[in-house]
Amino acid sequence: MSVTKQKILDSAMRFFLEKGYMATSIQNIADDCGVAKGSLYNLFNSKEDLLIEVLMMQQHRMTEQIRNIRIDETLSLKEVFIRETECQIGFFLDNSFIMQEVKKLTLPDGKIAPFLFRLRANLLNYNKESLLRVFGDGIEPNIWDLVMIYNGIMRELIFLFIFEKKSLIARDMAAFVVQCMEDMTTNMQVRTRPALLQDSDMSEYIQYGLKGEQIPDVTQRLDLIQRLRSTIKELAITNSEKTELQEATQLLQEELTCEQPKIVLIRALIGLLEKEHGLKDIIQQLDKLVMNNLKQGLTFECTPKE
């Protein structure tokens, strides 16, 4: 990498952290580096490309740090996990603007969202492997629940540091998170409790994330319709009531695949299904997905695109 390019990346990283991505202009970075704006555009086609390069550089540094930690044979598995966790915390603190501007950065028509989807998918996979390596295969049935708990604790601590300006030390944060996970994994109730998140649920999410994509709306909708059908079968209601709900589900699916779906009919069917308490959570997810599509003027597909 040329000295000029590295200087631009370092300057951009500093500006993004201090001013935020949206408030930083290419001109700010060019002036700071003492180069012409046109010269900067010869190296980076857009501010988005520059941000992605900065994040890739930071991710590479984190990966190298973790690799060096893992090959240190003097460290216990727990200490390795603490230091790995500290590296992840450091990455997000060094790039705090990601959390501050995540909604603006993940616009579906931009270049940044696919990179962040891949980053998240890679971190989820990595954290799964780390938890299994430290705590053993006995936690595998509940592994995705534990991954989400691990990520959730870290996210809230990082949130306190960034937004509430709490004077927390990264090493202490990492040790606390790992100790929490150790307490959970040694609790026999955790090992015997039915998993909330199944591997089948997460594998699809990870698969799309690694491609820089979100699960397509049509796939999510079909999954929710299938969950709806399965849940209706298990409801403690009469067979005639189940039949009515299944027929409503079938009508809803058919209407959603129409070239010009009738919004009034869709709302009526959703309202009917939502009255059954056991279906409420699924219906609310489906309602949000469907209405967002309708507001955006999107048409519904019968099957996912390959």
Q: What is the CA radius of gyration of the chain?
A: 24
153 shares its domain with 195: yes
**Which structural domain range is residue 238 located in?**
217-295
238 shares its domain with 176: no
**Separation CA 133–CA 225 (nearest Å):** 37
Query: Tell me: the pLDDT tens digits for 128-167?
Result: 999 999 999 889 989 999 999 999 999 999 988 888 777 8
Mean of pLDDT over the chain = 86
**Contact predicate 117/214, CB 8 Å:** yes
- Residue 294 has what pLDDT? 66
- pLDDT category, 232, cuts 50, 70, 90? very high
Query: Does residue 150 fall inside a structural domain?
Result: yes
Among candidate residues 157, 183, 210, the one where a domain is terminated: 210
196 shares its domain with 272: no
167 shares its domain with 79: yes
- Residue 130 has what pLDDT? 94
Query: Does residue 80 fall inside a structural domain?
Result: yes
**Which of 20-34, 45-59, 256-270 has the weakest average pLDDT?**
256-270
For residue 223, give Cα distances in angstroms to 11, 50, 220, 269, 290: 45, 37, 5, 18, 13
Question: Once rounded to an integer, what is the mean pLDDT over residues 91-103?
Answer: 80
- Residue 304 has what pLDDT? 43
- Residue 306 has what pLDDT? 41
pTM, to two decimals: 0.74
- Residue 303 has what pLDDT? 45
Nearest in space to 83 (alpha carbons), one of 92, 73, 95, 75: 75
176 shares its domain with 231: no
Query: Does residue 1 fall inside a structural domain?
Result: no
